[in-house]
Amino acid sequence: MSIWNDMSWVPALRTPFLNQMFELITLMGYPLFLVMFLCFGYFALGSKRFFHTAMLLMAAGLVNSWLKDIGQDPRPAAEFALDGGVGKSYGWPSGHMQIAVVLWGYLAYSVRDTAYKNLAYWAASIFIVLQGFSRLYLGVHDLGDVASGFVIGCLCLYAYIAAQNHPRISSGIAQLPMAQAVGCLLALHLIYTIFYPSHVDHHAPIWFAGAMMGWLLGHYWMRGGDENLPGPRIVQLLIASGLTGLSFVWMALTTRIPRALELGETGMAMPINYGFGILFGVGVIYVLPKLVSKITGSASASASASA
C-alpha cells in the first residue's frame, strides 16, 4: 500500500488522553466552530479583517465541497475512524486542513505589520499542523487527503492575498458598486450550483453560499467600515460574546427552518436555503451591530438627559 494511503501506523499512537485532545482540536475545523469564531472575530477582533477572513473561508469551503464531490475519493476504512462527524462526505481533499490553512494563515498575514507578527505566524503554523494531524490520528483522512488539503489551501490563500495586493484588482473591487458586486457573486454561485457534481446525499452547500452573499450585502450596508463596540476592552469582549450567542441562535433558526419545511430535493429547496443563508449573513454583520449601536446610543442619550 502507498504511504499516501497507509493507515496501519495510526492505532499504535492512540491513548485515551490523545484521543480526547485530538477530538477537541478537530472540532475547530467543523462549521459550527468556524462560523461562531468568524462571528466573534467580526465583533471583537476587527470587522474589516474578519470580513475578508469570512469571504476567503467560505469560498475555500465551497471549493473543497466541489472537489470532494467530483473526486468521490473514499475515506480510510471505518475500522480506523474515531470521528463520527464526517457523515457521508468523501476524503479528498481534507476540508479541515484546507480551511485551517486559509483561516489561520490569513489571520497571521493580517497582523504582519504589528508587534505580534512572529507570534501570529508561529501560532498559525502550530494550529495548521495540529489540525492536519488530528485528521490522520482520528483515522478519517489519509496522508494524501491531508497533503492535498494543505496544497489547495495554500493556493486559495495565495490567490486571495495576491488579489488584495494587486493595485488594479483591489482598487477595482473596492470601487465596485453594490449592485455589480452582488450580481457578480450571484453569477458565480449560479455557475457553481449548475456545474456542481450532485448525486445521492451529496448536494451543493447552498446555505453557505447564501451566507457568503449575506456577508457581502452587510459589508456594503455598513459602508465597509470597522465596527467598534462601546466601552473598555473587557466590556467589548462581553458584548461580543453575547452577540456571538445570538448569532448561534440565528444560525440554528436559519438552518433548521428550511429542514423543517421538508422540501427535500424539490425545486424550491435551493433558493429557500440560499435565502436563509443570506438572512444569517446580513443578521450577523448588519442587524446585530446596528442593534448594539441603537441600544448604546439610546443609553448615552438617556444618561445625557439625566445629567
Can you tell me whether residue 285 is helix, strand or coil?
A: helix
Cβ 67 vs Cβ 204: under 8 Å: no
This prediction has a pTM of 0.92
Distance CA 131, CA 146 (A): 10
Distance CA 59, CA 53 (A): 10
Cβ 135 vs Cβ 146: under 8 Å: yes
> Which residue has 490553512 as its cell numbers?
101
Question: For the chain, what are the domain ranges?
Answer: 13-296
- The per-residue pLDDT for 225 is 66
Beta bridge partners of 146: none
| Span 198-253, pLDDT tens digits | 999 899 999 999 999 999 999 999 886 677 788 899 999 999 999 999 999 999 99
From the list 62, 54, 25, the residue with the least C-alpha distance to 37 is 54
How many other CB atoms are there within 10 angstroms of residue 26's CB atom? 23
Beta bridge partners of 66: none
Beta bridge partners of 8: none
pLDDT tens digits in sequence order for the chain, 307 residues long:
688 999 999 999 999 999 999 999 999 999 999 999 999 999 999 889 999 999 999 999 999 999 999 999 999 999 999 998 898 999 999 999 999 999 999 999 999 888 888 999 999 999 999 999 999 999 999 999 999 999 999 999 999 999 999 999 988 888 899 999 999 999 999 999 999 999 998 999 999 999 999 999 999 998 866 777 888 999 999 999 999 999 999 999 999 998 887 766 656 788 999 999 999 999 999 999 888 888 876 554 454 444 4
Largest alpha-carbon pair distance within the chain?
Answer: 78
From the list 257, 244, 234, the residue with the least C-alpha distance to 285 is 244
Whether a cis peptide bond, with omega within 30° of 0, leads into 93 is yes
- The per-residue pLDDT for 227 is 73
